[in-house]
Chain A
Amino acid sequence: GAVVSQHPSWVICKSGTSVKIECRSLDFQATTMFWYRQFPKQSLMLMATSNEGSKATYEQGVEKDKFLINHASLTLSTLTVTSAHPEDSSFYICSARDLTRNQPQHFGDGTRLSIL
């Protein structure tokens, strides 16, 4: 149980393109979802936290207009990297948890984003 599906797993696109990444909880209700970014040989850094039906809370230094997060349902959150540039190339990982059940976060398999 507690599976989180992330799509796509890998995307390559041109500079200036907007890219949307989906994160779905398959067998539980994700009241809270988290988006992380991981640069090569570095650890995961939390970008933002989103609660279903509310605006996301962004960590310091993360541009909310650059990284648009939508968490409109209890099973789906999306991260849109707007007007992506090469420096946005990274590994993006989502996680989800059901706050009402006091469970730990469950992680997706990540999305490798490469901006040319």
Chain B
Amino acid sequence: KQEVTQIPAALSVPEGENLVLNCSFTDSAIYNLQWFRQDPGKGLTSLLLIQSSQREQTSGRLNASLDKSSGRSTLYIAASQPGDSATYLCAVIVLTGGGNKLTFGTGTQLKVEL
């Protein structure tokens, strides 16, 4: 059974700091990996999707890497801002007969302080 773990569970940093969020998964037979942002009481906003054949994806201040063989992904946030405060979830994606199945990590709750 796939298990997805995120470290740290919570993180508080001052504005402007660069930071790294970690995601690890136990079964490396994945199709894709996706990072999401969730604001309190809200749904999910997709940030980056990395295909299993790729090693990283970038969007603005965000960079996500994937090391499939070691079962790890990182999300790098540059020059953090208070608006980045949210819970960040990674999800590994496997192919099933009914479509892609996502298994979510435990999440990292990020707070960026002024």
Contact = CB atoms under 8 A, between A and B. Distances in A.
Interface string A86-116: 0000010101010100001111111010000
B101 A43 contact: no
A93 B98 contact: no
A54 to B, nearest CB: 9
B44 A43 contact: no
A51 B41 contact: no
Contact of A107 (B4, B44, B99, B106): B44
Contacts of B45: 107
Interface of A: 6, 31-32, 34, 42-46, 49, 51, 57, 91, 93, 95, 97, 99, 104-110, 112
Contacts of A46: 101-103
Nearest to B32: A104
B37 to A, nearest CB: 11
4 A-B pairs with least C-beta separation: A109-B43, A32-B99, A107-B44, A43-B104
- The main secondary structure of chain A at its interface with chain B is strand
A49 B43 contact: no
Contacts of A34: 99, 102
B61 interface: no
A45 B106 CA distance: 10
A31 B98 CA distance: 9
Interface in B58-114: 89, 96, 98-107
Given A42-B106, A43-B107, A44-B89, A110 B41 contact: yes
B49 to A, nearest CB: 6
B46 interface: yes
A43 B89 contact: yes
